[in-house]
Amino acid sequence: MKLIPPCMEFNSSANNNSIVLGEALASEEVNFVFPSQEFSKQAHVSSIQKYAEMYGRSVEDPAGFWSDIASEFYWKQKWGQPVYTDNLDIRNGKIDIQWFKGGKTNICYNCLDRNIDTGNGDKVAILWEGNDLGRDATLTYTQLLARVCQLANYLKSIGVGKGDAVIIYLPMLMELPIAMLACARIGAIHSVVFAGFSAESLAQRIVDCKPKIVITCSAVKRGAKTIFLKDIVDDALTQSAQNSVKIDVCLTFENESALQKQMTKWVEGRDIWWQDVVPKYPVTCDVEWVDAEDPLFLLYTSGSTGKPKGVLHTTGGYMVYTATTFKYAFDYKPKDIYWCTADCGWITGHSYVTYGPLLNGATNVVFEGAPNFPDAGRCWDIVDKYKISIFYTAPTLVRSLMREGDEHVTRYSRKSLRVLGSVGEPINPSAWRWFFNVVGDGKCPISDTWWQTETGGFMITPMPGAWPQKPGSATLPFFGVQPVIVDEKGVELEGECSGYLCVKNSWPSAFRTLYGDHERYETTYFSAFPGYYFTGDGCNRDKDGYYWLTGRVDDVINVSGHRIGTAEVESALVSHPQCVEAAVVGVEHDVKGQGIYAFVTLAEGVSYSEELRKSLIKVVRDKIGGFAAPDKIHWAPGLPKTRSGKIMRRILRKIASNSLDELGDTSTLADPTVVDQLIALAHS
């Protein structure tokens, strides 16, 4: 594997299609954005040569590389030898990955006690911003530890111990990371369920992991809307009881700004108010030292069969990897104020709201509300209020804010911003440029991170200061990650190519199994291309060695024998100046096999017209080719999204195929009425 891509042999002054950070804005002609000398000089990874040296060691001597990093954390007992073992080849027996086995540690201790012991007890750990303007709070590392210990002691008092599951169904209150850390402190396995899932979805997860307790709150306000979470939990507990899983304790936090205690429905003998019991417990709690391979958490992700997959992550390797990726991908420094807009109900909230930042002793913003409430400038109001220097968000939010207009951004200073980040899906180049030019004023590198729930942490990501970025590319692999692109037969492709993205050899934070279904784990991720972890994503590698994610393979459309990534078509559509967002799905076609069906959201004030439809198709023809031209443009005032901003493509496929009686559960959508609008516009 060549460690230095060909592009690194040229400097910015020799490249006509490049700019240097802070010196210019990124036009459509710009291919490379080089770090400035000033930024590189202060970066953890200051050059491509430094990266090549560290990356080379990480793949040639992974045991030594990761042992050195792991030694920076507290271990009650050091791990044994070998440092790791793995088998990713299903032909050689059971798929098995282990890192630092025999080592005894605790991730909560490393997040909190270790930072306090080094003199950071008075440093702010969490800056909490409420949904409504003017509601905020802070917790120092010492205060956070006290709150965590009180909850941990309560959990122990009701019989929760090492290996027991705890379901957490909370919004982005400070109590959510507190609950996660309390579970980790006593060796319990937390399973956070996004507080936007329906009762049926929550019940499925309760039945699968059979928790000792469910933790929730009375209600939450998202924007102007109140969501009655306790009612949803009540329904879910009724459903789970009908499936022979009875929960004896439902610990409920009173979120008084959303719903007062007396208005909350109550089941005597089962339901307990958090505020009535937890504060009575001691503010110190003994640590349960666990093996590096003991389970840390379960996080359920959607499966193609409809049954959620319980992704299981263990303690030691996950701890080491998430802390390291956070440090290097964001070039984190102790003075940084960090904000990730993700919810802890998703993996991003686990790795880069709770664990990664706290393991690094960071000051971390936790936001309860909606990013466009009370208006589209809320994000930048928060950035200025807390002097945020690292801002990590999803392309969906970037595109949404683009649509609202630059004035909602430019009326705020944003001078504190130093590094921007993108997560969740490939960011199209036009959104990347807007993020860079408007939000970052051309001064902030963008860490466009590719990773998955299953990987635990970043896999392919820029490192600010080390190498030039390309708008829309995740760039190069993180330390220890060996990505390969294979063809349909599993043959590795070299150089410039397109195919299926796989990873060979393990990395510390790889998930170890699917809870209760190791066979499904092996079949889903390791059987398609034996010897590799199959990501399920398509990928291009360009002549400079940069990786470009093209979306899920099941989001690849086969049109007349041409494999077309939906993300590629979406990116082309969004490059049109009057299109702010697009979602593409495949539909059956009598001649082509599959046709391309595009849902398109236009800029504010732009009217739908036949002329515009033709113009959009021309953009795709021009950027990709005639074979990729959409067969159908479906005008979309909005797209069906979860409250975390993820587009529900399953619903779009059903609308496109006119399977309206198969839409399924729409309760997790931020705005379910969007579905009705799309159906009404289906034949217009």
Per-residue pLDDT tens over the stretch 225-283: 999 999 999 999 999 999 999 999 999 999 999 998 989 999 999 999 999 999 999 99
User: Alpha-carbon distance 523 to 521, whole Å?
Assistant: 6
| pLDDT average, residue stretch 534-557 | 87
C-alpha torsion 341→345→348→349, nearest 10: 60
464 closest CA partner among 69, 52, 19, 44 = 44
User: DSSP state, 38?
Assistant: H
Alpha-carbon distances, residue 677 vs 638, 665, 683 (angstroms): 8, 17, 12
| Higher per-residue confidence, 503 vs 654 | 503
- 660, pLDDT greater than 50: yes
pLDDT at 2: 54
**Model confidence band, residue 436 (pLDDT cutoffs 50, 70, 90):** very high
pLDDT, the chain, mean: 92
**Model confidence band, residue 179 (pLDDT cutoffs 50, 70, 90):** very high
pLDDT at 626: 78
C-alpha torsion 469→474→480→482, nearest 10: -120
- 559, pLDDT greater than 90: no
pLDDT tens digits along 493-503? 999 999 999 99
CA atoms within a 13 Å half-sphere pointing along the CA-CB vector of 521: 21
User: At which residue do the structure tokens 């003075």 appear?
Assistant: 335
User: Alpha-carbon distance 381 to 312, whole Å?
Assistant: 37
**Model confidence band, residue 386 (pLDDT cutoffs 50, 70, 90):** very high
Provide the 3-class DSSP secondary structure of residue 224.
Answer: coil
Structure tokens at 185: 């402190």
**Model confidence band, residue 563 (pLDDT cutoffs 50, 70, 90):** low
User: DSSP state, 155?
Assistant: H
**Model confidence band, residue 302 (pLDDT cutoffs 50, 70, 90):** low
Structure tokens at 33: 């954005």
Alpha-carbon distances, residue 428 vs 333, 515, 606, 617, 679 (angstroms): 29, 34, 21, 17, 27
User: At which residue do the structure tokens 């917790």 appear?
Assistant: 139
pLDDT tens digits along 314-330? 999 999 999 999 999 99
CA diameter of the chain = 73
Separation of first and last alpha carbons in the chain? 52
Beta strands 337-340 and 363-367, pairing class:
parallel
Number of residues that this document lists for the chain: 684
pLDDT at 304: 42
The sign one gets for the Cα dihedral 191, 194, 196, 201 is negative
User: At which residue do the structure tokens 């982005």 appear?
Assistant: 172
Q: Is 290 left (phi over 0), alpha (psi -120 to 50) or beta?
A: beta
pTM metric for this prediction = 0.86
User: DSSP state, 172?
Assistant: S
The residues, any chain, with a CB within 8 Å of residue 138's CB and separated by 6 or more, are: 124, 126, 127, 128
User: At which residue do the structure tokens 């942490």 appear?
Assistant: 457
The sign one gets for the Cα dihedral 388, 392, 397, 399 is positive
**Model confidence band, residue 305 (pLDDT cutoffs 50, 70, 90):** very low
- 416, pLDDT greater than 90: yes
Q: What is the DSSP string of 380-439?
A: HHHHHHHT--EEEE-HHHHHHHHHH-THHHHTS--TT--EEEE-SSPPPHHHHHHIIIII
User: Alpha-carbon distance 383 to 417, whole Å?
Assistant: 8
538 closest CA partner among 511, 568, 565, 576 = 565
Alpha-carbon distances, residue 270 vs 212, 215, 229 (angstroms): 12, 12, 16
The answer to whether residues 405 and 604 touch, using CB atoms and an 8 Å cutoff, is: yes
User: Alpha-carbon distance 198 to 464, whole Å?
Assistant: 39
pLDDT at 594: 82
The answer to whether residues 302 and 642 touch, using CB atoms and an 8 Å cutoff, is: no
Report the catalytic residues. 554
User: Alpha-carbon distance 108 to 364, whole Å?
Assistant: 16
Q: What is the DSSP string of 304-346?
A: TTSSPEEEEEESHHHHHHHHHHHHHHTT--TT-EEEE---TTS
User: Alpha-carbon distance 369 to 375, whole Å?
Assistant: 12
510 closest CA partner among 73, 84, 24 = 84
| pLDDT average, residue stretch 186-202 | 91
